[in-house]
Amino acid sequence: MTAPRFVRRIWVMPALLTAAMAGQTNVGDWSAVKALAPGTQVRVAAGSRTVSGRIGRITDDAVAVTSGNGQENFDRQQVSAVSVKKPSHRKRNTLIGLAAGTGTGLVAGLASRSKAGQLNVVSNSAVVGALTAAGAVVGAIVVLVVPTGGWREIYKK
């Protein structure tokens, strides 16, 4: 007798979880900070201060950040965390939402066309066009509201 399908799937979850955890980076490694290119937008937490700016120079023992207050130097022992700014893909995501909404609206419009012999108050092409346009607008707005970018921590003591 074989186990039900959902029981067999449960055994896969620990393997997937282990693989996902193994793929995460070690945020306690200073070499990730040393690998940053000059000019990279960062946020450095040192003690009770957090400074946002661009990387100036990085050594084995220190990091220099150029912020609105000029260049600030932090010893490695002072730094408790370093985060980098992730790029925002808002334009790309908006186009994807627009395309997905257009496709969904088109399919809904085509599915809602009246059949022969039914009362046809509005033309079929008007219904298809209206639902396609509405789907495009809704798809673009939904994706615009979803936040993109943000900060990714690469070092933490």
Please give the pLDDT value at position 30. 87
Please give the pLDDT value at position 20. 44
Q: List all residues 6 or more positions away from 144 whose beta carbon is below 8 Å from its beta carbon.
A: 90, 94, 97
CATH number assigned to the domain covering 25-85 = 2.30.30.520
Please give the pLDDT value at position 14. 46
Per-residue pLDDT of the chain (157 residues; tens, 9 = 90+): 555 554 445 544 444 444 444 444 566 788 888 999 999 999 999 988 999 999 998 899 999 999 888 999 999 999 999 999 888 888 888 888 889 989 888 888 888 776 766 656 667 788 888 888 888 888 888 888 877 778 899 999 8
Sequence letter at residue 107: V
What residues does each domain of the chain span? 25-85, 90-147
